[in-house]
Amino acid sequence: MTVYPLFVDLRGRRCVVVGGSPPAEAKVAALLECGADVVVVSPRVTERLQAWAAQGRVRWEARPYRTGDLEGAWLVVSAPDDREVNARVWEEAQARGVWMNAVDDPPHCSFIAPAVYRQGALVVAVCTSGRAPALAVRLRDRFAAQLGPEYAAFLELAGELREELARRIPEFHRRREAWYRIVDSDVLDWLRAGQQERARQRLLQLLEEGA
């Protein structure tokens, strides 16, 4: 299997999680972090999921999955206690064109959830095409050890100046070269040293030189 990597915007999109176990809770947490509208379908759920439901962060349907639960859904994650339920969820997902991930059940997946590391706006995702998820986790941890908070700070600065850079350097190829000069500069070193203002001044200097 050759997978196509992409990052999707789930803000406000209906996402259904079938199951209420700890693995299902982890999937719900990841969806909530992305701003998804989450519905949990399961007779029983973890205490944390119960708390989220009480707070209104998720909607909990306290019953087994039934056909029709995916109406209006954009994606579904299936992690029920009875894995045989996955086949029925898959059938409905296929009929409705809904993206589906069944935990530890690759034949019933139309997408794979990678191991993810976040540092501010930086997102690193590692996937092994469903063959060895544990390896993806270990590789993610290696990246996490190397990519500290300076990268989040760098992206904050870059985001602030992105429009200014586009205004000053309208030609795409020159703007791309300017971005590479900025990325390859000592801005990250200053941020790593906690010198936020020095980093900002250096970035502005590079912007002037590029323009």
Taking only the tens place, the pLDDT of each residue in 18-53 is: 999 999 999 999 999 999 999 999 999 999 999 999
Q: For residues 40 and 43, what is the distance between their CA atoms, to the nearest angstrom?
A: 10
**pLDDT score for 208:** 86
Per-residue pLDDT at 190: 97
Number of domains comprising the chain: 2
- Are residues 153 and 109 both part of a single domain? no
Domain boundary among 66, 95, 113: 113
In this structure, are 161 and 99 located in the same domain? no
| Residues 104 and 176 reside in one and the same domain | no
Tell me if 157 is assigned to some domain: yes
- Do 19 and 89 fall within a single domain? yes
The CATH number given to whatever domain includes residue 104 is 3.40.50.720
SS3 44: coil
DSSP 81: S
Helix (H) or strand (E) holding 210: helix 196-210
d(CA 76, CA 98): 7
- Asked whether residue 40 is assigned to any structural domain, the reply reads yes
3-class state of residue 129 by DSSP: coil
Domain coverage including residue 44: 14-113
Residue 134 lies in a domain: no
Task: Report residue 109 as tokens.
Answer: 């997946």
**Where does a domain end: 113, 140, 161?**
113
Which residues does the chain have with pLDDT short of 50?
none
105 and 43 together in one domain: yes
